Amino acid sequence: MRRLPRWSIAALVAITVLGGALRFDAAGDPGRYHSRDAIAYSMIARGIVDNGTYGLLGGGGHGQQDPMHWPPGTPALFALAHAIDPGAVTDDGAVTAAFPWQAAVGTLTIVATFALVVLVAGPAAALLAALLVAVYPPLVAASGDLLSEPLGSLLLTAALAATVLTMRRPTRTVGAVAGLLLAATVLTRADLLLVPLVALVAIAAVTRSARAVAPVLVALVVVLTPWTIFASGVTGHLVPLSSGGASNLWVGTYLPGDGSIFGSKRALAPEVKRLYPRLSDHRPDQISQVHVIRTVAARHPGLSEEAALRRETLVNLREYALGQPGPFAGMLASKVWRLWGSYTHGTFQRTRTPIRVLHLALLAFGLTGLAIGLVATRRAELWTIAALLLLLTAMNAVLVSEARHNLTVMPALIAGGAMGFRLAAGRRRRPPRVVVPEGDHVVAAVHPARRPQTAPAVSPLPPG
């Protein structure tokens, strides 16, 4: 890669400062409500620091659920924040010391986006992508939430940049860094489980070298294996990344609940209340998802919860996917729109039309740029991002889908759009090549504007 011009570095610094200021401002004034996942991440982080265990410190409703439901990336970041400032904890157990760290990783995502695009499409397109990531409101607001999206966005974007670099310079060091970042990505966001596979296939297809793939694969195995052994030993069954897969698959295929958590609570509220009479005065939205899952598992008292949920998932597929294919396909389509059709805004926040319009505009920018770039160039880097988006969409169509899941990949989507538009424009501006023959032999291939003044007169090649 050529040395970056000074103007691009200065512009990147300005954009990063702008995005960082927005994020630290959001982190300095977070909302008072902390979601179930936010409290779980915080309790696990406190357990790591205070007790040296990976558990839901403090119990409550979370104490009934397996802590391996939450992969370790975000709890590790929050544990670091809690170790530095152990007193910054709210009454409900939220580790408020993690807010500045959320802002910091969000700011670094701007730089990672620039790095990903500049490797492929140059500094102008990279600056555009970085600016869009810097000011995208949901990414800014994420710094005021204790969730995994900021860290997941940074790791995924950096992992894609390292993957692209591995395609171009397949050294052991670069490959190992790519593998490390890919492993850290899936240890933070289990829904990105197939991203390493996409990266490995892309590297293999471009380099056609086992030596390029090997360092990435080794780094993945080295990083992921200890967590898999630990989580599987704690739960008593194989847990590659998270123990939430069976419950998510059941919810996602449960047609009466429209494939959503809130829908399953509404559909199963009577059954839950029969099993748990103390919840009889609760509205469906007040019922914990833990109770819903345990109610479903109780249909098979001789099986473990995981096995019972897998059996109920097969029931869903038989009764709904095969028995009602039209409504089931409609549910899958609605979940795709649920993923991409809006932005994440928190549980008690209303959708704001200007932000949703901006979100849809960025979605159109990313998808259109990718499509145009692929048609014009068929570059492997664009195929890699497109495959990532397709896999995420397919997984959300089958599993639990919500707008929050698009936040992690928005920087990659924006980067793909910027790459695609720039590569397609560069191809259109490229001058046609003209063959300059001499007799029966080709002596040059130049653009007419660059033809030397002393070039001999051109006569057409003889037929045949």
In angstroms, the CA 450 to CA 109 distance is 42
What would the two tokens of residue 462 be?
A: 């003889």
pLDDT tens per residue across all 464 residues of the chain = 568 999 999 999 999 999 999 999 999 988 777 888 889 999 999 999 998 888 876 554 444 567 888 899 999 999 999 999 998 888 888 999 999 999 999 999 999 999 999 999 999 999 999 999 999 999 999 999 999 999 999 999 999 999 999 999 899 999 999 999 999 999 999 889 999 999 999 999 999 999 999 999 999 999 999 999 998 888 777 887 776 778 889 999 999 999 998 899 999 999 999 999 999 889 988 888 889 999 999 999 888 888 899 999 999 999 999 999 999 999 999 999 999 999 987 666 788 999 999 999 999 999 999 999 999 999 999 999 999 999 999 999 999 888 989 999 999 999 999 999 999 998 776 655 555 555 555 555 545 444 444 444 444 444 43
The count of other CB atoms within 10 Å of the CB of residue 458 is 12
pLDDT of residue 449: 45
Helices then strands, counting H and E runs in the chain, come out as 18, 2
In angstroms, the CA 381 to CA 169 distance is 14
- Give the burial class of 269: count Cβ atoms within 10 A of its Cβ; 0-12 exposed, 13-18 middle, 19 or more buried: buried
What single letter denotes the amino acid at residue 219? A
- Give the burial class of 392: count Cβ atoms within 10 A of its Cβ; 0-12 exposed, 13-18 middle, 19 or more buried: buried
In angstroms, the CA 282 to CA 82 distance is 35
Sign of the Cα torsion 159, 160, 166, 169 reads negative
What would the two tokens of residue 438 be?
A: 């001499």
What single letter denotes the amino acid at residue 385? I
pLDDT of residue 437: 58
Q: What φ, ψ does residue 441 adopt, rounded to 5°?
A: -120, 140
Judge whether 202 and 168 are in contact, CB under 8 Å.
no
Sign of the Cα torsion 251, 254, 259, 260 reads negative
pLDDT of residue 430: 60
List all residues 6 or more positions away from 17 whose beta carbon is below 8 Å from its beta carbon: none
pLDDT of residue 380: 94
The 3-class SS string of 355-386 reads HHHHHHHHHHHHHHHHHHHHHHHCCHHHHHHH
Alpha helices in 67-148 (DSSP H): 73-84, 99-121, 123-135, 137-141
Q: Which H or E run contains 247?
A: helix 245-252
Q: Which H or E run contains 391?
A: helix 380-398
Q: Rounded to a whole number, what is the distance in angstroms from the first to the last CA of the chain? A: 43
pLDDT of residue 435: 56
- CA-wise closest residue to 37 among 251, 189, 233, 159: 189
Pairing of strands 434-438, 441-446: antiparallel
pLDDT of residue 459: 40
pLDDT of residue 289: 84
Judge whether 20 and 107 are in contact, CB under 8 Å.
yes
